[in-house]
Amino acid sequence: MSDLGHYGQTEKPRHKNLKQLALDGTPPVGVWVTIPSPYIIEYAALAGFDFVSLDLEHHLYSVETVCDLIRTADACGLAAIARIADKAKILPLLDFGLAGVAIPHVRSAAQARELVEITKYRPVGRRGFNNAGRAHNYGQMPFAEYAKQAADEVTLAVQIEDLEGLENVEEIMAVPGIDHLWLGPGDLAMDMGHPNDDKHPEVLKALKRITDAADKNGVTYLGTGAPIAIVDDKTYLIRAFTEARATVYEKAKASYESDRKRYAEAGLI
């Protein structure tokens, strides 16, 4: 039985290692999943994405739905990460197999240290022990092996999108155990008094301060090796439907006008 891998089927890992992809020079590209359906995960895999990002901050998903989406991602070979506002959900979802978490509205170094403690095992953090988590095959994988795997794969991203976070960004970025920075220009612009204007000079200056702090501490962000989650599934579907409808409409209109002309010439109308 020692040669059996995940779920006794294969030695192949369940999903891509986003950290390793970045180290190998391949920026991991993912898609935001806001439609809570396994079909979306399968479509993302067929399209060649490396990971899916589940938005648990702005969307209402049941825990059971999130678990099904993680299972589907694993079955398709995609890593699943999630933006999580409720820190109580971080540990059980990591134990279930989530490959990374992004935490919105990080405002202080103390908050960042707590997040590292929740997500990373010792000596970096203080993540709780679970001897039968799905992430290590319900305990069939030796825990020491899983702990090493988690250290190599599980990512923590913090999102700076408030004035308080901006004022503390140098201290936040210096906290050991943070893998990635996610910028939040929309919320930051609102907090700075420039709603819906994330290109305002003051906002751009603030974003530069944030990325400078990340650079100083080796924390990656968009364009520097962090996983890139592009526009969400709804936006792509609406755009695709709109383009398809426009194409079909123009063809149908041209055919209709051609037919009317032909019928008119034949005296049929």
Q: What is the average per-residue pLDDT within 119-128?
A: 97
Q: What mean pLDDT value characterizes the chain?
A: 91
Please give the CATH architecture assigned to the domain spanning 18-230. Alpha-Beta Barrel (3.20)
Q: Are 150 and 121 in contact (CB under 8 A)?
A: yes
**Any idea where the domains of the chain sit in the sequence?**
18-230
User: What is the C-alpha to C-alpha distance for residues 125 and 1, in angstroms, rounded to an integer?
Assistant: 33
**268: Cβ–Cβ under 8 A, 6 or more apart, which residues?**
none
pLDDT for residue 267: 76
- Whether 263 shows a pLDDT value over 80: the answer reads no
- pLDDT tens sequence across 31-79: 999 999 999 999 999 999 999 999 999 988 898 999 999 999 999 999 9
Q: What is the pTM of this model?
A: 0.86
- pLDDT tens sequence across 137-187: 999 999 999 999 999 999 999 999 999 999 999 999 999 999 999 999 999
Q: What is the average per-residue pLDDT within 107-112?
A: 98
Catalytic residues: 58
